[in-house]
Amino acid sequence: MIRIFELKNIISIKDFERQDIEYILDEASKLEDVAKSREISEELKGKILGLMFFEPSTRTRMSFETSMKRLGGECIGFESSGSSSVSKGESIADTAKMFEGYSDALVIRHELEGVSKFISDIVDVPVINAGDGAGQHPTQTLLDLYTIKKEIGEIDNLKIALIGDLKYGRTVHSLSNALGLYKNVTIYLVSPPELKMPDEVLHDVNKTNITLKEATSIEEIIDDVDVLYVTRIQKERFGDIDEYLKIKGAYIINKKMLEGKDLIVMHPLPRIDEIDGDVDDTKYNKYFTQAANAVPVRMAILKTLIKNNPK
């Protein structure tokens, strides 16, 4: 039996083997009909998912909620620290303990790295990390891989450019870790010097077979890649706003530069100005499909974790 059935928490994509990822991607493709046909199944009927979002979110929170509801379950939760008793001074640990009493699994987003791990150590229900500071965003990576596999056909042999805020962008950290499980992958790192990929991630990547290449402009790499994975400059993680303003708008993708190229454009969203609106109506735009893929993928994650870890 593959390891995914023993997995209780999803804290870091580094806890996954390739076969675990493949299991989730296969399950997701089986669930895509339910997701697309807007049906409701009964797989998680009677189960409750606790959504603890201390940091803003649109896609992640709403897709977890949609996924739980499509599986016949229900959700409770809050969408900012301000709307929970944390604003009255309650500790994260006490808040998590309350949620443990009310729900069958917890989804946590927090601005500090390590908070999901901390909570998973003090509660008995499965915990899913929905983004911890500049750390990890493992479920985003699973839907990114699902999108790549569906659009390109395979993840092995991938040539992908990670563009923008590689320092604070947690999606590119998790994605780089996961790609290390695949064969013959080349990652092109394209970022301003101030926002380079952190050493710890590079250290992990260097232990795998990934070929890493650095570039300073999109033009240098655009003819070589299958995927342009564009990210937002993470304004909220800058200590000094002037530093942000200097870098903002450093890399912008537009329709003209894509013409004649054989690639797709992905973005975890939200986008600010990194992808011009004129790309939206082209065949290159896979970022909205990617966001929609969150539902079957998160359905597969919830189904697997909650069924294998009954209360």
Helical H runs in the chain? 18-37, 59-70, 92-102, 115-122, 138-152, 170-179, 199-206, 241-247, 255-258, 287-308
67 interacts with ligand NCD by CB under 6 A: no
- The answer to whether 87 touches 79, Cβ cutoff 8 Å, is no
21 interacts with ligand NCD by CB under 6 A: no
Interface residue with ligand NCD among 47, 70, 137, 303 (CB under 6 A) is 137
Nearer to ligand NCD, 131 or 180 (CB): 131
Structure-token pair, residue 214? 């650095």
- The answer to whether 294 touches 143, Cβ cutoff 8 Å, is yes
170 interacts with ligand NCD by CB under 6 A: yes
Q: How far is the CB of 178 from ligand NCD (least distance, A)?
A: 15
60 interacts with ligand NCD by CB under 6 A: yes
Structure-token pair, residue 251? 């890399």
Q: How far is the CB of 59 from ligand NCD (least distance, A)?
A: 5
| Rounded distance between C-alpha atoms, residue 43 and residue 41, angstroms | 6
x/- map, 227-246, ligand NCD, by CB under 6 A: -----x--------------
61 interacts with ligand NCD by CB under 6 A: no
Q: End-to-end distance of the chain based on CA atoms, in angstroms? A: 22
The phi and psi torsions of 196 (rounded to 5 degrees) equal -70, 160
Q: Is 13 helix (H, G, I), strand (E, B) or coil?
A: helix
- The answer to whether 177 touches 201, Cβ cutoff 8 Å, is yes
Interface residue with ligand NCD among 77, 131, 135, 138 (CB under 6 A) is 131
Q: How far is the CB of 61 from ligand NCD (least distance, A)?
A: 9
x/- map, 89-128, ligand NCD, by CB under 6 A: ----------------------------------------
Interface residue with ligand NCD among 95, 140, 147, 174 (CB under 6 A) is 140
- The answer to whether 11 touches 116, Cβ cutoff 8 Å, is yes
- How many residues touch ligand NCD under the rule CB under 6 A: the total is 10
Q: Rule CB under 6 A: which residues touch ligand NCD?
A: 59-60, 131, 137, 140, 170-171, 232, 268-269
